[in-house]
Amino acid sequence: MSKINKAVKYIKEYGFVKTAKAVKTKLCSGKAATAKKLKRIIKESYDHKEFEQLNTSLKISILMPVYNTDVDMLKCVMESVINGSYDNYELCIYDASDENGRDATKICEDYAGKFPKIKYLKGDNFGIAENTNRCFDISEGGYIALLDHDDVLHRDALCYVAMEACKGADFIYTDEVTFSGKITNVVSSDFKPDYSPYMLRCNNYICHFVCFSRELFVSCGKFNKKYDGSQDHELFLRLTDRAKKVCHIPKILYFWRVHKGSVSDSIEAKEYAITAGINGVRDFLASKNIDAEVESSEIYPTIYRIHYKITDEKVSVIILNHNHYEDLKRCLESIYRSTYKNYEIIILENNSNDQILSDYYAELSQKENIKIITLNEPFNYSRFNNIAAGYAAGTQLLFLNNDIEAVSENWIQEMLMYSQRNDVGAVGAQLRYPDKTLQHCYLITGAGPHKVAIHAGLGLFEGDYGYLDRIGFVRDVSAVTGACLMVKKDIFDKIGGFDEKLSVAYNDVDICLKIRNEGYGIIYTPYARLIHYESSTRGRDSEDSNRRRLDAEAEYIKNKWKDKLIDRYYNANFSTDREGMLR
């Protein structure tokens, strides 16, 4: 579809104002502006004073398998290592080039002859996984780093990973950019979140640059040739799962070259990589006795959708309601359409004066799986939900706004898939406005006007999955909205439920932080899809009548959590004023 046709389509679906705002956002974060900021970040964000106290006794072995590599690219990658600022390294090359790669072989031999830190071994081609293992076989370092034969390493990359290794990290990864031709011709950036185990199962977001301890690599069994084409992803799943400390360095330390035939250029050209990726994730889950099916997602072949097997737990759906018969009726009818049936509905009625609603309550009270609790006191979201949770018979609590309408019939199962995991404490869904623009996927904490939280992807059109498609698949997050929030009841009880000092705003942020503080993860799934007719009951926080209350609650939660509000899943290179924009 051409840009003009796409613009016309968006104007028809979303109106001129929303389309204009979306275009403005794209222009502000466009290629020219982004490239300029990237150059600044690459140039200015490295403080060499950090290296003055660095213990350089740690040897890092860089594994680089070679196969028929372009001579200029090969020289470039080796020069990037040789000219680096960290001196205690070895570059271990296993060259599997055939007759078509004689020039590459000669370059490797020449460099190995000139530079003692380059170890070189020539041999047959056993595939990328086994060739990399051959590199390891000639290595001696206590830490192992991976380098592709056509990419470029930042001069300070080894210094930064060595610093983190000395602090106890046994698996380390960094941010990166892709480039084409000249290294200054940036194609895309990849600013990553901190370690996200559920996100990693769905996509190899870690990619480059990676360094890990020799002990960890050996204990996990090294590379497995069964997964050639996706061998890194499968290995990273095993390594991070067993690592004592996974560290993410939010700096661009790796330059991934885009050229014809590279995975960075077109994964569609490498079907074997897709199959290997699916098999790798599936086998990893099986090794942990997790019953799940894995398939490529609709977004991209190497972004995976995982279907975890669920058990038939009872879910207690908790809804607060004040008047708004039509909203409540629409919400309940969408729940009835759900394919998951083991649920109860608890409605906490607050100060309604609508006779039609009273008649509706009388009708609902005849249903076995619906409880109606009446509470006539000033509204307090946290207190009301805590009271309602006390009536719950389910082992899973699902807090739901009355202005929500479920779209996907299997939305409860999609949330249960993650809420039933032992290491997950809460799960959030994808909410859209009635015009299908995005209202919520997850919250970025420590951001926005109050530096408490903002909605990620707010206003995105349907089919736009945001930065690197990351709102389009399951991921670990810091917080999700209370408008649709599933929490294990035992965890909810353990942490004392919602903080009743937060009567309206930020109570969802607070409970997610309490859950995380207990060591449980928060998960966002885009496969539980709902429509949110936001704040139709209470009004918006932007209204003057609510501003003072919002400001006070913001100050309260900031004083309570302080630096724990900093979002580890939101890269430090991004602005906390405006989502996704570079600082």
pLDDT, the chain, mean: 91
> Do 463 and 489 meet the contact criterion of CB atoms below 8 Å apart?
no
Q: Which residue has the higher pLDDT, 31 or 546?
A: 546
Amino acid 393 reads A
| Beta partners for residue 320, in sequence order | 348
Residues 450 and 331 in one domain: yes
Residue 273 lies in a domain: no
Using the CB atoms, write b or e for 8-36: b if 16+ within 10 Å.
eebeeebeeebbeebeebeeebeeeebbe
Report the chain's C-alpha Rg in angstroms: 26
**Mean per-residue pLDDT for 69-88?**
96
Residues 208 and 337 in one domain: no
Q: Is 423 exposed, middle or buried (0-12, 13-18, 19+ CB in 10 A)?
A: exposed
Residue 332: strand, helix, or coil: helix
**Mean per-residue pLDDT for 494-498?**
98
Banded model confidence at residue 108, pLDDT cuts 50, 70, 90: very high
What is the structure's pLDDT at 545?
A: 65
Cis amide leading into 16 (omega within 30) = no
Residues 426 and 365 in one domain: yes
> Do 456 and 579 meet the contact criterion of CB atoms below 8 Å apart?
yes
Residue count (the chain):
583
> Tens digits of per-residue pLDDT, 441-492?
999 999 999 999 999 999 999 999 999 999 999 999 999 999 999 999 999 9
- Going by their DSSP bridges, the two strands 89-95 and 118-122 should be labelled as parallel
d(CA 400, CA 415): 13
Residues 203 and 335 in one domain: no
Using the CB atoms, write b or e for 272-294: b if 16+ within 10 Å.
ebbebbbbbbbbbbeeeeeebeb
Residues 369 and 513 in one domain: yes
CB-based contacts of 390, cutoff 8 Å, min separation 6: none
Banded model confidence at residue 557, pLDDT cuts 50, 70, 90: very high
Banded model confidence at residue 9, pLDDT cuts 50, 70, 90: low
Residues 319 and 188 in one domain: no
Residues 175 and 60 in one domain: yes
Q: Which of 225, 245, 262 is the last residue of a domain?
A: 262
- Going by their DSSP bridges, the two strands 438-440 and 424-432 should be labelled as antiparallel
Assigned token pair, 236: 């990273």
Residue 94 lies in a domain: yes
| Beta partners for residue 521, in sequence order | 424
Q: Give DSSP secondary structure letters for 339-357.
A: S---EEEEEEE-S---HHH
Residues 518 and 374 in one domain: yes
Looking up residue 537, the CATH number of its domain turns out to be 3.90.550.10
Model confidence pTM above 0.75: yes
* Closest among 295, 510, 535, 291 to 420, alpha carbons compared: 291
Spell out the alpha helix ranges (H) of 207-322: 214-219, 231-242, 271-287
Q: Is 500 exposed, middle or buried (0-12, 13-18, 19+ CB in 10 A)?
A: middle
What is the structure's pLDDT at 537?
A: 47
Residue 292 lies in a domain: no
Residues 227 and 329 in one domain: no
Tell me: pLDDT of 500 over 80: yes
Residues 129 and 249 in one domain: yes
CB-based contacts of 429, cutoff 8 Å, min separation 6: 411, 414, 415, 480, 484, 524, 525, 528, 529, 530
Q: Which range, of 16-20, 34-38, 97-101, 161-165, averages the lowest pLDDT?
A: 16-20
- Going by their DSSP bridges, the two strands 60-66 and 152-153 should be labelled as unpaired
d(CA 270, CA 228): 11
> Do 116 and 82 meet the contact criterion of CB atoms below 8 Å apart?
no
Q: Is 433 exposed, middle or buried (0-12, 13-18, 19+ CB in 10 A)?
A: middle
Residues 319 and 258 in one domain: no
d(CA 464, CA 454): 18
- Domain of residue 238, residue span: 49-262
Amino acid 16 reads F
CB-based contacts of 175, cutoff 8 Å, min separation 6: 189, 190, 191, 192, 249, 250, 251, 252, 253, 254, 571, 573
Amino acid 502 reads L
* Closest among 524, 510, 513 to 438, alpha carbons compared: 524
Helix count (H) and strand count (E) of the chain? 18, 23
CA 574 to the chain's CA centroid = 15
Residue 472 lies in a domain: yes
> Tens digits of per-residue pLDDT, 271-312?
888 999 999 999 999 999 999 999 999 999 999 999 999 999
What is the structure's pLDDT at 29?
A: 44
Residue 390 lies in a domain: yes
Residue 236: strand, helix, or coil: helix
**Mean per-residue pLDDT for 54-83?**
95
When divided into structural domains, the chain yields a total of 2
Q: Which range, of 149-158, 191-200, 265-274, averages the lowest pLDDT?
A: 265-274
> Tens digits of per-residue pLDDT, 229-240?
999 999 999 999
What is the structure's pLDDT at 546?
A: 80
Banded model confidence at residue 534, pLDDT cuts 50, 70, 90: confident
- Residue 363 parent element (H or E): helix 355-364
> Tens digits of per-residue pLDDT, 175-225?
999 999 888 888 889 999 999 999 999 999 999 999 999 999 999 999 999
| Beta partners for residue 307, in sequence order | 293
Residue 89 lies in a domain: yes
> Tens digits of per-residue pLDDT, 426-445?
999 999 999 999 999 999 99
- Going by their DSSP bridges, the two strands 292-296 and 304-308 should be labelled as antiparallel
**Mean per-residue pLDDT for 370-383?**
97
Residues 257 and 322 in one domain: no
What is the structure's pLDDT at 26?
A: 47
Residue 287 lies in a domain: no
d(CA 149, CA 147): 6
Residue 267 lies in a domain: no
Residue 526: strand, helix, or coil: strand
Q: Give DSSP secondary structure letters for 482-514.
A: TTEEEEEHHHHHHTTSS-TT-SSSSHHHHHHHH
What is the structure's pLDDT at 17?
A: 46
